[in-house]
Amino acid sequence: MEITNLVNFAPMRIDILTILPELLTGPFSNSIMKRAQEKGHLELQLHNIRDYATNKQKSVDDYQYGGGAGMVMSIEPIAAIIDKLKTERAYDEIIYMTPDGDLLEQGECNDLSLKGNIMILCGHYKGVDERIREHYITKEMSIGSYVLSGGELGAAVLVDSVVRLIPGVLNDETSALTDSFQDGLLSPPVYTRPPEFNGWEVPKILLSGDFGKIEKWREEKAIERTEERRPDLLEE
């Protein structure tokens, strides 16, 4: 695995190619994504594909060859942005968000969080001209077995899940090490004050101060929950 980001201590650079940049400004200007940029861990650029359309109508899609319902995103504007960005820096991955891509899993997020430069292309309509996928895309990702109106929300999910793992983005309190999936298990239940509400009590062991026992209880609960909800994780 190439660990460019750790070695250089440079911010991770993510370029997102979209026809709807407005859809992405919200998710990236709040909370942890905002802090990651302010703290210099992340440099995020949104590129409007329409700005690279050269025809009079500024169209970015066209009818599909062979007929059939649904438009296809044209190759020229997308190729123009990718070619331009590639002259500015080398990209570790050029990712296409698509429902027929590899299902996003925590392991992939971990790997991507160690990269230096990532480009993400958001699809729309019937998808992009296949030649983009063949000649430019290095990875195709899906965030689940359902179809979204476009790749933007998928890109937001991917970026969020990756950026929170960049060393230094989260503080100890929000450490990613104890997240569900990091050890192949779902997380155990958590509680905070008050110790009793409506007669519903916090498990006594969590108030005991015996951290050895608490750790063991958490491990048991994590296994129990994984067996109940995601037995497939245990088989892996």
Cβ distance to ligand ADE smaller for residue 111 or 224: 111
Give least dist CB 158 to ligand ADE, A: 8
Per the DSSP assignment, residues forming a β-bridge with 122 are 97
Binding site for ligand ADE (CB under 6 A): 97-99, 123, 142-144, 146-148, 151, 154
Torsion of CA 14, 88, 122, 30, to 10 degrees: 30
Q: Pick between residue 99 and residue 116 the one whose CB is nearest to ligand ADE.
A: 99
CB of residue 46 to ligand ADE, shortest distance in Å: 17
DSSP per-residue letters across 32-89: HHHHHHHTTSEEEEEEEGGGG--STT---EEEPTT--SSEEE-HHHHHHHHHHHHHHS
CA dist., res. 179 & res. 32, Å (int): 15
Q: Which is nearer to ligand ADE, 73 or 165 (CB)?
A: 73
Q: How far is the CB of 104 from ligand ADE (least distance, A)?
A: 8
Contact between 142 and 99 (Cβ < 8 Å): yes
Judged by CB, which is closer to ligand ADE: 44, or 141? 141
Residues whose CB is less than 8 angstroms from the CB of residue 28 and which lie 6 or more positions away in sequence, other chains included: 34, 37, 44, 156, 159
Nearest-CB residue for ligand ADE? 154
Identity of the residue, 157 or 185, whose beta carbon is nearer to ligand ADE in the bound complex: 157
Three-point CA angle 112, 106, 88, nearest 5°: 15
- Least Å distance, CB 148 to ligand ADE, is 4
Smaller CB separation from ligand ADE, 42 or 141? 141
Question: To the nearest whole angstrom, how small is the minimum distance from the Cβ of residue 96 to ligand ADE?
Answer: 8
Provide, rounded to whole angstroms, the least separation between the CB of residue 140 and ligand ADE. Answer: 9
User: Which parts of the chain fold into alpha helices (H)?
Assistant: 4-8, 22-28, 31-38, 75-88, 106-112, 130-135, 152-163, 211-229, 231-235
